[in-house]
């Protein structure tokens, strides 16, 4: 059974940084698409960043240049480094995974989600 556990959320002031972590069980991240999504109150879930098994990354325009997805294969953990945060980044952030590692930037193909970690950015 696939389980994804996010951590690292919290409250930060605008301009600050946070790093989220996701440690999936039931997936080897080096052979899967790994994605980060977010959902603000009253909005739909939005794809933020994704990584192919080969290391290619995909970003939503809203976070390009500020967010970085990375992974540590030895720890089977995926990260989302978030810099220059703004109040518009406030949301619940979710980790997601799928196989095979194709079309990782197609946000609609993900089916396995974590419980989420809250990120709140104050002005």
Q: What is the mean pLDDT of residues 78-88?
A: 98
Give me the pLDDT at residue 26, please: 81
The beta strand positions in the chain, using DSSP E, are 3-7, 10-13, 18-25, 33-39, 46-51, 57-59, 67-72, 77-82, 91-98, 112-113, 117-122
Q: What is the DSSP string of 5-18?
A: EEE--EEEETT--E
Checking if the pLDDT of 11 tops 90, the result is yes
Q: What is the mean pLDDT of residues 54-65?
A: 96
Give me the pLDDT at residue 113, please: 87
Task: Tell me the pLDDT of the chain averaged across its residues.
Answer: 94
């Amino acid at each position: 059974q696939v389980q994804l556990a996010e951590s690292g959320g919290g409250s930060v002031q605008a301009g600050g940084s946070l790093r989220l972590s996701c440690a999936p069980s039931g997936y080897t991240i080096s052979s899967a698409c790994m994605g980060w999504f977010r959902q603000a109150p009253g909005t739909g879930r939005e794809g933020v960043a994704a990584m192919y098994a080969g290391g290619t990354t995909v970003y939503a325009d809203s976070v390009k240049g500020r967010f970085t997805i990375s992974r540590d294969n030895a720890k089977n953990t995926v990260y989302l480094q978030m810099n220059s945060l703004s109040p518009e980044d406030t949301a619940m952030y979710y980790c997601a995974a799928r196989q095979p590692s194709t079309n990782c930037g197609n946000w609609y193909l993900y089916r396995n989600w974590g419980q989420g970690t809250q990120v709140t950015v104050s002005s």
